[in-house]
Structure 1
Amino acid sequence: MTWRGGDDPPAGRIGLAGWVRVARRGTVLALVTYGGLALLLALRLVERPLCGMNRPWTPHITQMVCRAALRILGLRLSARGKPMRKKGAAVANHASWLDIFTLNAAQRIYFVSKSEVARWPFIGWLARATGTVFINRRGREARAQKEIFEARLRQGHRLLFFPEGTSTDALRILPFKSTLFEAFFSENLKHVMHLQPVTVIYHAPPGEDPRFYGWWGDMDFGRHLLKVLAAPRQGRVEVVFHPPVAVEAFTGRKALSAHCERLVRVAFPRDRLPQDPGPASPACAAGLSRDH
């Protein structure tokens, strides 16, 4: 299930200055992240009995923490377009564990992720606390998972998932899997839901391997985190929000998936490695490992 194209980039040796940066950035990052998590959980004790499934306050804490995390790392964030205000969800390409901070910093959303992520150290704890929707790929649980998915959407939660199904080297976009798009075509949702495609583009630090921020294959999370913390200079990340589309304007999940994939690819830099071919959008022709 994990993308394994090509060799992993060289890890590089972390010198004394690098370990100093790891200690400084890592300490501040841990304090901000877990301090924000403690505040979020405390506020949720009040928010839950008053608002139930709705979370009017805690997503603001998540967004502030993620913006602070990017500043601590030194990774500059820029955005084009605006997150939609309509009821629905977003889909994005997936390059790294950094997408969690990047996409939460750019908008207030809830991720859709595979169930195994809930058990991951560090990432799993954050995911559970921030309202991530966990799904199982087992066929016998598909109906129950779809009902959970629909319930969250009906509550007005803005969900975000990764249709590629796995993270990459940050230099390509894999073909979108259309399975999760099916949930939007239920009778309860298809007439009111909108979907917004989002493109995430990482630019490596000057002089580094262009795959610097990508996380794929057998890469260990801890070592990748150390590499990012130790970097003397950081790169930048762009988030492009494309125009949202109404689900009911499409004939089915495959047409909607193809349209979203095409828009996500349109904004991706043409100087990257050759991308895997994606299907053309019928709508346009007519005018969530790392494994998610």
Structure 2
Amino acid sequence: MSDWKASRMATRPVGVVGWLRVVARGGVLATVVYGGLLVLLLARLLERPLCGLNRPVTPYITQGVCRAALVILGIGYLQRGSPLTAPGAVVANHGSWLDIFALNAAQRVYFVAKSEVAGWPGIGWLARATGTAFIARKGSAAKAQQALFEARLRAGHRLLFFPEGTSTDALRVLPFKSTLFAAFYSLCLDNLLHIQPVTVVYHAPEGADPRFYGWWGDMTFAGHLLQVLAAPRQGLVEVQFHDPVPVDGFADRKALAEHCERVVRSAHPLAPA
């Protein structure tokens, strides 16, 4: 196991006041998230039979909930650049479960997640309802995943990938795996699609461990959520949208993956070069 995975972040005792913050913030957050989920499901009852795979309404609900979630948590938000408008996909570094809120707040996207996420309590329901595309980590599923990606892209969905393959301590950018990029070269859409690299940078609350917002190793979701909810002060998440690049501007998936990694890493002030 690498050093960054082996290291552990010291957690602060929550305390009585901290628990009050957990109850206050957590209660409002749960109401907004699951209330938004209910509204989304009701809207989808009409949207699905009328529009099929297209989702002209529900992504706006998801975006609104994610913006509200950051406000409820008290986490500052700074956006640089503009989200992709051309047909294509988005790739970003992955530091935390908070990426879902941060990346959805500025754009309407559909995440690509490992199939295990679909079964996670609470999170799995939200992921399925918001149109997450689930992929299996096995070669036998490659053709089915290719067909899924093609259908979603042809429907105008903007998919968002995390090419690192795992979340980190939010202080580094891991090498991008080129496997997922292969789909863009096998859909007969490479002359139409653009890929937009996005850098997500978390600035920890004053006096906190710089890795405060990172979620990695064997950290539990519940434990990390508790620490974030209990924090007396919050920090800032910065999302930088870089210039999109055409898929057919690169010879193969490895060249495209290397370019995206280089751009994302260059804009991350905390990550080593």
Q: TM-score, normalised by structure 1?
A: 0.91
Counterpart of 1:5 in 2: which secondary structure?
A: helix
Report percent identity of matched pairs: 67
Counterpart of 1:111 in 2: which secondary structure?
A: strand
Distance 1:2 1:166, change over 3 A: farther
Instruction: Tell me, in whole angstroms, the C-alpha distance in 2 between the residues paired with 1:2 and 1:91.
Output: 24
The alpha-carbon deviation at position 3 of structure 1 amounts to 9.2
Q: CA contact under 8 A between 1:110 and 1:131: conserved in structure 2?
A: yes
Distance 1:22 1:143, change over 3 A: same
The alpha-carbon deviation at position 273 of structure 1 amounts to 5.5
The alpha-carbon deviation at position 26 of structure 1 amounts to 0.3
1:114-162 CA-to-partner distances (Å, cap 9, x unmatched) read 0000001121111000000000011111111111111101111000010
Aligned match of 2:208? 208
Distance 1:18 1:136, change over 3 A: same
Distance 1:58 1:71, change over 3 A: same
Aligned match of 2:148? 148
Unaligned runs of 5+ in 2: none
1:3-27 CA-to-partner distances (Å, cap 9, x unmatched) read 9524121111011100000000000
Counterpart of 1:137 in 2: which secondary structure?
A: coil
Instruction: Tell me, in whole angstroms, the C-alpha distance in 1 between the residues paired with 2:4 and 2:55.
Output: 37
Q: CA contact under 8 A between 2:53 and 2:155: conserved in structure 1?
A: yes
AA aligned opposite 1:207: G
Aligned match of 1:122? 122
Q: CA contact under 8 A between 2:201 and 2:238: conserved in structure 1?
A: yes
The alpha-carbon deviation at position 264 of structure 1 amounts to 0.3
Matches within 5 A, 1:64-143: 64-143=64-143
Q: CA contact under 8 A between 1:163 and 1:177: conserved in structure 2?
A: yes
Aligned match of 1:199? 199
Distance 1:273 1:266, change over 3 A: closer
Aligned match of 1:32? 32
The alpha-carbon deviation at position 249 of structure 1 amounts to 0.8
Instruction: Tell me, in whole angstroms, the C-alpha distance in 2 between the residues paired with 1:171 and 1:205.
Output: 14
AA aligned opposite 1:37: L
Instruction: Tell me, in whole angstroms, the C-alpha distance in 1 between the residues paired with 2:255 and 2:96.
Output: 27
Aligned match of 1:274? 272
Distance 1:184 1:198, change over 3 A: same
AA aligned opposite 2:240: V
Aligned match of 1:157? 157
Distance 1:57 1:235, change over 3 A: same
Unaligned runs of 5+ in 1: 276-292
After superposition, the CA RMSD in angstroms is: 1.4
Distance 1:187 1:117, change over 3 A: closer
The alpha-carbon deviation at position 187 of structure 1 amounts to 4.8
Distance 1:223 1:129, change over 3 A: same
Q: CA contact under 8 A between 1:3 and 1:217: conserved in structure 2?
A: no
Distance 1:49 1:12, change over 3 A: same
Distance 1:49 1:2, change over 3 A: farther
AA aligned opposite 1:246: P
Matches within 5 A, 1:37-48: 37-48=37-48
Instruction: Tell me, in whole angstroms, the C-alpha distance in 1 between the residues paired with 2:100 and 2:186.
Output: 28
Q: CA contact under 8 A between 2:265 and 2:271: conserved in structure 1?
A: no
The alpha-carbon deviation at position 274 of structure 1 amounts to 3.1
1:10-54 CA-to-partner distances (Å, cap 9, x unmatched) read 111011100000000000000000000000000000001111100
The alpha-carbon deviation at position 81 of structure 1 amounts to 0.2
Counterpart of 1:239 in 2: which secondary structure?
A: strand
AA aligned opposite 2:12: G
Q: CA contact under 8 A between 2:146 and 2:187: conserved in structure 1?
A: no
Instruction: Tell me, in whole angstroms, the C-alpha distance in 2 between the residues paired with 1:20 and 1:218.
Output: 27
